[in-house]
Structure formats: structure tokens, C-alpha cells
Structure 1
């Protein structure tokens, strides 16, 4: 079980390995299906490897993902035109480069040059390497990237981190890389939506004083939570609805707030609106009390105009 590389005789033999594309396959739909699949897999693997490389970078730099994908796309176009396989970033080589002391872009460039020269001139010696040696290197590198302490750290961060982490690993082992990552992304997306759903609206209470804050984007998905908070306001309460931090408020959310304002006098509830953006986009601030006749249930439209 040894490495098997084509033995190339010098530079001329290297260029003889090139295979030009068969342009007669333009109308073959299978070509595009495979191309899209490879593009998705390679892009995901590159982005995941890039994030892992950022974490092990001793200088704590953040690599530009867009530039990486553009370079990979250009490289794959050239590779495909000369009969080469698709390329992608791999965390094993990146980790080995970092462990060897690589710090700059030149380390990556020299890495590629050394691979090219090795394939061109010493392929016969590379073919003497047992596959078991490469497997041992992969196992050791993988252990360094996913050692038991990493699982402990993910567990300490809570269910929103450890569950998608474990689900992704299990799905990859049970299926394949693409399906496993897709399942992990769906699981992670659930927790992201759940977190944003809870964080979009917060309610702070002090006796019969309430502060209801709308954060960033408040969509129709938060309508049920908003109603829950508004229903918890007791009689004779004082409510401040602060939307100064909100960048977008769905019309359903505004309607729910206006309905609450219109019904507030029935329970002698005072409502104060701060920077609630209506359809006109003008920030407003007005207090509504039970003494204001314009906020009765029969005059809902007047209440809406007053708030806007």
C-alpha cells in the first residue's frame, strides 16, 4: 500500500500530462450537475478550513474569505482547462504549515512550489512512501485540531454550540462530507433563528413599570413573543416601548403595538412610545394614558395616527 503518482520525466514529460477539455460535452447536463456539486463542496471545505486556520494562527489574523474563494475559482478554472483535479484549501496542510513556523503568504506560495517540483522531479521517491505514514500524519493533525479539550469548551458554551457540533460530526461520519455539513448547517440555523427570535424583543419589569425594547430587526416571527410580553402587563401599569435600537419593524409588529395602545385605557395602562417608526419613517415620542379619550377601543384609527 504505497503512494501512486505518475512518474514524470523532466519538464517535457510534465507538460505531456496535460489533457485538454472535451468541448463537445457543453450540452451534457451531467457535467453541470457534477460541477455545481464540486463547487459547493470545495467552497464549504475552503471556508471551514479557513476558519480553522484563523483559530490556529499565532498572530490571530482573519483571512479574507472572498479573496480566497476568488483565488480558488480562478485556480480551478485553470486546473480544469489543463486536465487537473479541482483544488480546495485543506486544514491538514495549513496546520502543518503553521506548525512548521509559516507566518506569511510566502510560506503558502513556497509550499505550492515545493509540491510542484516534487511531482515533477522526485515522483519515483514519493511512490516509496507507505499510505500508512500519510494516515498517521492525518490522524495526528486531526487530533490536534479536535482534541478532547475542544469538546469540553463547546460543551461549556451551552446547548446552542455543542448540539450542532456533535450533530455535524455524527452526520458526516454516517453519510458524507456534503450531507453532513448540510445537516449541521440546518441544526445550527435552528439555534441562530431561536437566539435572534428571543433577542429581538426584551421586557424589563420593576413593580408596575415595564420597559419593552425592540432590538435591531423585529419581524413577524416575533409577533407571538410580543403579544406574550404585552399580555403580561398588569392593570394600572406604566409601559415604555422603546424602538430606538430597532432598524426594521415589521408592519404586523406595529399593528400589534397600536392595538395594545388602543386597548390600554381599559386597564388604566399608561403607554409611552419612543422612536417608534411608523409608515412615514418619522421618529416619535408620545405618552398615552387612560385619560386620553383618543385611545379608546372605539377610536383605534385615531390612536394609530397619534402614534405615527
Structure 2
């Protein structure tokens, strides 16, 4: 314990400034993600608090920052539509945390490795597109039926697009200016020239966007009332007259919903997606860590589980480890988890003492930040990257995106996984067995582990062997570590049926490491047409379109 204290104390001079930078990045993101999720903005700050004050010390990562994540906005929004009650959703969040805690004890931290990257990136791209669709009304100050996101992105994608087009016909000029300039600031802040400026690199782009929006709106209030943002389009946080009032603003889960099956469906969805996003963020954070420290994934699942339990009990959003805040921590020079804790302390201070000032932030600022986040998740270059990788990567990616937009996140992921699994099976089917022919010599090679899925391909190659007394077949399995019983049975049947023609069959490492040579005759099916006699010909799994 003393050694740990000394370790953290040694890096205080780097961690405190880094924690302040992370706070400046996290504050608008916590508010924006709550806005996109259709929940009270206070809930986003609660999740950020728990991530900074609790998960920072439970996690095994020194640099990862936890909080509300853009990847969960779709789940939260759809869950609220399904359950119809925010307190029921909080109960689902608590249950999801318990499931994550159980996954950690079951050592399920490896689950992220079993999801194809095309499906995971397709999920993130779909979330990015939905973020863009949902934030356009806030970016333009949509007034036609203002009820926040709770009236937006309803049951079908069709209604969402109708709402999107309606919003463009009821714009507020002040909100458009704030969001457009805010987007420009975020784009410029990512330019290489800006990144090379040490001073500018310490100031987060989202913070500059928020400051710009507040300053413009205050100017408009004084000098151009027609351009000001209406009060309903400003952040609305509960203001505490003294620190003790903070507890009065908390919302607690309603445990009477435990008999509602939909609560458990939502909980499973949150647990799966939050765990996946956490594990992916950890992998990226570990790669960015200058000291190349590795995070124990099972411990991280336990930490996130405890975080979601506490966040749900206090009225907060579900959380994950998030790469945007984690990378900001690393870039700002953070060295230990103390920096994440400092960001949590700063969030707490801002809620307790500066809520009235935060309420001056226009929602158009947060919409600009989320629009840019959505673009980075679904940038066109990602679609081109998968196009260049070929159909086996492009189709799972595109189908996952389309399925999520047409249904919901969990169903879309399931469809994407099914498509990805099809291509895995297809690739294994084609590559597991190959056949080469030189004159009357046939070489059938088992290239890797061969399962019952490859039995049809092996039978096809066997039938290509000509009925000729000079024919010789070599079945070579020295590359395979595993051969399924169905494959062995097919080889036995092939050898047993060779009775009417003098076919030399050589079997290498199929039944063991020794070399077995047999001379038998092969009877082919009636009506089989002999193939031409080239000098040499290769056969692969692609024969007959397979």
C-alpha cells in the first residue's frame, strides 16, 4: 500500500494537469451523450462521476477513463421507448452491471476476441450514422414539436428520417450558426498543424466549441435577440443551493419492474455491448500507452460491472471504458489512474458549484460535438477500407450497418455475426482441402484442421479421380492437427470401394505419423465423365461455385 501511494505521488505533477484536461473533454461529452440518449442531462454527469471516482480505482488500467459512451446511446434510447419508464431503465442498468461482474468472475474477458472486426466496426459505424440523424434537430434548433430526443428516433427508421427532414424546415438561425462554427472548430482542431502546437494541443476542441456557443448566445441576447437560442434549447441541470441539495437530485431504480421480462432483455443488451466496447477501448488504450502496460481484462469487466451497478442505483447512464477520453488522458501526459480520479473530482465540483453556469450552454454546441463524433465513427474512408478488403469483409460490415439501422442494435449485431460466420465457414471450407493433379497422379492435401463441414469437398475431389489402372492417389495430412471422424470414415469408404480398378492409394499421417501404402481399386459412379488429361491441374474449394 505504501509503495502504491509513493508511485501515485511520484506522478502527481503529470496526473493533475492531465485530469483537468480529461475533465474539460468529458464534461461536454457527458452532457451530449445524455442528450442523445433521451435522458436527463444530470444522468450523464452521474455516470462520469462514478467512472472517475469509483471505476478509476477498481480498474487494472492506469490510463483508461470510464464514463457514458456514444456506443450505448442507441441502446438507451430504444430501451426507454420499450420500457416507458426511466426508473425501469435504471434497474436494467443495475442488472447489466451484475451480469458484467459475473462475466469478470467467469473470466470472460476474452469474449471480445470472438467478434469479427467487420461486425464491431459495422456496429460503430451504424451508431455514428444514428448519432448524426438524431442530432440534426438540435443542431438547427428544431422547434416544431420540441420534446428533446424522447419524441425523436421512434420505432422505425422511416419516422426518424421524416423527423430529420421536418427539422430542416423549422430551423433557428442562432442554433445553426453555433453548430456550424462549432463543427468548423472541431475540424480545424484536428488538423496536423494544430496538433503540432504545444499550447493549442492542451486545449480540447470540444471545450472551445462550448465556449464559442456560450459567448455567441450571450452576445445575441444583448445585441441580436432574433439570433439568440431559446431557453428550451439550453442545458438544463438541477441547481443546488448548497452541496447537500445534490442528493435530492438523484433518481433511483424501481425494483417493482423485476417481473418485467423486457427489463432483462435490455440488461443483457447493455451488458454485451458495454463489455465489448470496454474491451475494444482497452485494447486501443494499451497500444497508446507509452509504457506498454497490459490491462487485465477480467478485472476490467468486474470494475465496469461495479460501476454500472452504482451508476444505475444513483440514476446515471450505463458506462464503458471510452477511447476518446482515454486518448486525451494519454496525450495530456497522464501516467496513473490518479488522472482519471482527478477528472471525476472536477466533475463533482462543477455539478455542486457551477451548475447555473453550465445551464448557459446551448444544446447546439453539444450537437456539433456529437455530429463530429458520429462522423468519425462512420467516416467514408472506413467504407472504402472494407471495400478494398473484399466482399468477405465488406458484406458483414455493410449488412451489420443496414441491419442495425433497420432493426435495433442487438438484432443487427446478431445478423452481422451470422453473415461473418458464413464467410468464416466458407473460407475454411475452401482452404481446408486442396487437390493437385500431374498426369495420373492425384495429390489430396489436408491443409489444416478438417471437420465434418469439409466432407462434401473431399467426396467431390475423390470423384474427380479417373478410372485408370495407372492412377495414383496420395492423401497427405501432415499439415493437419485435427481430422474429424467423418473425414476418416470418408477416406475408409474411398479405400474400401477401390476394387475394380488398380488405383494406388498412399495415405500419409491420416491415421498416425507412420506412412501407410495401399494398392486398391476404385469403382466410380456410373455415368461419370472422365476429365481431360492436362499435364498438371489444381483443384480448390471453388469448384462448382463452392
Taking a change above 3 Å as real, the CA distance of residues 151 and 25 of structure 1, as seen in their structure-2 partners, is: closer
Question: Within the alignment, does 1:69 sit opposite 2:301 as a pair?
Answer: yes
Matches within 5 A, 1:284-303: 284-290=514-520
Q: Does 1:219 align with 2:442?
A: no
Query: Which one of the candidate residues 175, 180, 196 is aligned to 2:407?
Result: 175
2:479 is matched with which residue: 205, 220, 245? 245
| Aligned equivalent of 2:393 | 161
- Please list, as runs of the form range in 1=range in 2, the aligned pairs for 1:41-80 lying within 5 A after superposition: 41-47=273-279, 53=284, 57=288, 65-80=297-312
Tell me if the contact between 1:242 and 1:276 (Cα under 8 Å) persists in the aligned partners: yes
SS at match of 2:481: strand
Q: Are the structure 2 counterparts of residues 116 and 247 from structure 1 closer, same or farther at C-alpha, using a change threshold of 3 Å?
A: farther
| Aligned residue number for residue 442 of structure 2 | 210
Name the counterpart of 1:255: 489
User: C-alpha offsets along residues 155-174 of structure 1, whole Å, 9 cap, x if unaligned?
Assistant: 11110011111112222223
**Count of residues in Structure 1 that have an aligned counterpart in Structure 2:** 288
- State the TM-score, normalized to the length of structure 2: 0.46
1:38 matched to 2:270: yes
Match of 1:270 in 2: 504
Counterparts of 1:30 and 1:37 in 2: how far apart (Å)?
A: 11
Q: Is the 8 A contact 1:169 1:180 kept in 2?
A: yes
Distance of aligned partners of 1:107 and 1:189 in 2 relative to their CA distance in 1, 3 Å threshold: farther
Deviation track 1:248-295 (CA, whole Å, cap 9, x = no partner) reads 322211111111122345332222222214xxxx544201124xxxx7
Q: What are the residue-to-residue correspondences of 1:83-162 with 2, within 5 Å?
A: 83-90=315-322, 92-94=324-326, 108-162=340-394
Structure 1: which 5+ residue stretches go unaligned?
Answer: 298-308
- After TM superposition, the score normalised by the length of structure 1 is 0.76
Cα 1:134–1:206 change in 2 (3 A) is farther
Whether the 8 Å contact between 2:285 and 2:327 is mirrored in structure 1 is: no
* CA displacement, residues 59-81 of structure 1 (integer Å, 9 cap, x when unaligned): 79886554443322221122233
- Quote how far apart the aligned CAs of 1:48 are: 5.3
Higher alpha-carbon deviation: 132-141 or 81-90: 81-90
Distance in structure 1 (CA, Å) of the matches to 2:438 and 2:493: 24
Deviation track 1:148-205 (CA, whole Å, cap 9, x = no partner) reads: 3322221111100111111122222233333322222222121112112222222233
Mark the CA change 1:214 to 1:119 in structure 2 (over 3 Å): closer, same or farther: farther
Which of residues 305, 308, 314 is equivalent to 1:82? Answer: 314
Contact 1:212 1:242 in 2 (8 A): yes
Deviates more, 1:87-96 or 1:165-174: 87-96
The whole-number CA distance in structure 2 between the counterparts of 1:264 and 1:256 is 13
Contact 2:433 2:445 in 1 (8 A): yes
Structure 1 contact 11–120 (Cα < 8 Å) conserved? yes
Does the 8 Å CA contact 2:253/2:313 hold for their aligned counterparts?
yes
CA 1:167–1:31: 2 relative to 1, 3 Å: closer
Taking the aligned partners of 2:293 and 2:388, their CA distance within structure 1 comes to 25
Q: 1:137: how far off?
A: 1.9
SS of 2:480's equivalent?
Answer: strand
Verify the 8 A CA contact 1:92 1:138 in the aligned structure 2.
Answer: no
Are 1:3 and 1:129, in contact at CA under 8 Å, matched by a contact in 2? yes
Give the Cα–Cα distance (whole angstroms) in 2 for the partners of residues 204 and 127 of structure 1: 73
Rounded to whole Å, the distance in 2 between the matches of 1:165 and 1:55 is 25
The structural deviation recorded for 1:147 is 2.9
Instruction: Name the stretch that deviates more: 159-168 or 38-47.
Output: 38-47
Query: Contact 1:261–1:271 (CA<8 Å) still a contact in 2?
Result: yes
Deviations 1:195-222 (A, max 9, x none): 1222222223333333322244322111
Give unpaired runs (5+ residues) of structure 2: 1-232, 524-546
Structure (1/2) with the larger strand percentage = 1
1-side partners of 2:335 and 2:499: how far apart? Answer: 67
C-alpha change, 1:34 and 1:263, in structure 2 (3 Å) is same
Whether contact under 8 Å (1:54, 1:61) holds in the other structure is no
CA RMSD, Structure 1 to Structure 2 (Å): 3.4
